[in-house]
């Protein structure tokens, strides 16, 4: 899962990025409002953490531009705790949730997880498909109640496919959501990763629609 962190405070941005990476996300940061707007307008993210006080272009303007352009990725806004008017305007402008500063990093990560689940139509912390259960709290994939031993990348792949269950996902989309832009990878890395995952999950769980991509569950 790919998260954009738009925050100009370097310490906060690094803390959020590290915590999200530990939680299994691919976190990418921008400290400038114009750059954050462009990234969110031209690239696909599973969620955005958006500080309202960005330089060059403020967070509310960014959010309004995204929503007007039809960019519907979930947005969690960060705002000063006492600025209730900013929180109200943020929600009315299309934000999905907000957290007031100062905040606990764990709360932000939990809220991001909840936003992504709800965007995929999964209000609870567990997602079930093809005989598997994804527990987003414990970051485990279970079969018959027992956790499977997966590498971090294998977990990220099965988690993304289960969040998108029933939808055929292309290799390009998987690459975008599993790897940071500057991460060096082999051209066949997704095929290799899918092969390893199939050996652990069993045949028929991760399915292929030839020429289009992969899916878990009943394809649309």
Tens digits of residue pLDDT in 72-116:
999 999 987 667 788 888 889 999 999 988 899 999 999 999 999
Q: Tell me: do 144 and 112 sit in the same domain.
A: no
Please tell me whether residues 108 and 132 are part of one structural domain. Answer: no
CB atoms within 10 A of CB 174: 21
| Predicted local distance difference test score (pLDDT) of residue 183 | 59
Backbone angles phi, psi at 180, to 5 degrees: -70, 155
CATH no. for residue 78? 3.40.50.2300
Q: Which of residues 119, 152, 169 is at a domain's end?
A: 119
- The two most distant CA atoms of the chain are separated, in Å, by 54
81 shares a domain with 65: yes
Asked if 9 and 103 touch (Cβ cutoff 8 Å), the reply is no
Give me the chain's average pLDDT, please.
Answer: 90
Q: Which of 99, 119, 139 is the last residue of a domain?
A: 119
Residue that is written with structure tokens 């590498």 in the block: 151
pTM: 0.81
Residues 170 and 74 grouped into a single domain: no
What pLDDT was estimated at residue 97? 94
In this structure, are strands 47-51 and 75-80 parallel, antiparallel, or unpaired?
Answer: parallel
Give the separation between CA 68 and CA 171, rounded to whole angstroms: 29
Please indicate, yes or no, if residue 6 is contained in any of the structural domains: yes
């Amino acid at each position: 899962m790919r998260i954009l962190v738009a925050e100009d405070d370097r310490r906060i941005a690094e803390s959020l990025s590290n915590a999200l990476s530990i939680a299994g996300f691919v976190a990418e940061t921008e400290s400038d409002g114009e750059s954050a707007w462009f990234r969110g307008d031209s690239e696909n993210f599973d969620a955005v953490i958006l500080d309202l006080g960005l330089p060059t272009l403020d967070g509310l303007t960014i959010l309004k531009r995204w929503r007007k352009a039809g960019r519907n990725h979930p947005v969690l806004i960060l705002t000063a705790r006492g600025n209730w008017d900013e929180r109200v305007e943020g929600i009315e402008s299309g934000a999905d949730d907000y957290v007031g500063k100062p905040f606990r990093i764990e709360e932000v990560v939990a809220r991001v997880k909840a936003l992504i689940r709800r965007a995929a139509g999964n209000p609870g912390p567990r997602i079930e498909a093809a005989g598997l259960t994804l527990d987003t709290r414990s970051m485990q994939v279970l079969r018959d109640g027992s956790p499977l031993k997966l590498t971090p990348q294998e977990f990220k792949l099965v988690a993304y496919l289960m969040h998108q269950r029933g939808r055929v996902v292309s290799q390009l989309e998987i690459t975008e959501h599993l790897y940071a832009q500057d991460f060096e990878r082999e051209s066949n890395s997704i095929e290799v990763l899918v092969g390893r995952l199939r050996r652990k999950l069993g045949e028929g769980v991760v399915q292929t629609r030839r020429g289009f991509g992969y899916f878990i569950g009943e394809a649309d």
